[in-house]
Amino acid sequence: PRTGVVDLGTPHAPSLESLAAARPDVVVGDVSMHARLAENVAPLGAELLLLDSTSVAATFEGLEKLAAQTGVAAEMQREIDAARAALAQLALDAPVPTLALFGTAARWLVVTERSWLGDLLGALRFDSVSKDAGGAERIPGYTEISDEQIATTRPALVLVVTHGDPRAIR
């Protein structure tokens, strides 16, 4: 890591000991993943800035908020504007019926538009064939649906994203 940068480990379970040792002024986290850390960060005297990363637009808004707080608003706005322009250029001319799957060592999940990835795919005009599939949603934005339900979706394209050790996911 660069000087002054502290590795807190996994985003799912950051090391509070490393965080405390860093003596931060501001701790930036994801609202859905890190809100529970508020009581642990309070004794450090650091401000906890929780950003919403459930959509592309919300992520950009969070970056704007962080940039304004840290005095780099103009620079960040240039980067955000460039990213928005690049995304607009990447958008498909016509929607493509798509099934997006998220694989872990434990299970396969269907990516919905209620996740950041699903929102990005929608913005790029990948049309989710699983919008109305229902299913258990233990992780916000990702549903468990049966193989039978998946078989009825008839996508033109299947996108696979994995998380974790690829050998364990196979």
- DSSP character string of the chain: --TT------TTS--HHHHHHH--SEEEEEHHHHGGGHHHHGGGT-EEEEE--SSHHHHHHHHHHHHHHHT-HHHHHHHHHHHHHHHHHHS-SS-EEEEEEEE-SS-EEEE-TTSHHHHHHHHTTEEETTTT---EEEETTEEE--HHHHHTS--SEEEEEE-S-HHHH-
| Per-residue pLDDT tens over the stretch 67-118 | 998 899 999 999 999 999 999 999 999 999 999 999 888 888 999 998 999 9
Closest by Cα among 19, 78, 28, 23 to 53: 28
Q: What's the pLDDT at 159?
A: 94
Contact yes or no for 50/36 (Cβ under 8 A): no
Mean pLDDT, the chain, integer: 89
| Per-residue pLDDT tens over the stretch 35-81 | 888 888 888 888 889 999 989 999 999 999 999 988 999 999 999 99
Say what the pTM is.
0.82
**pLDDT (mean) for 132-147:** 81
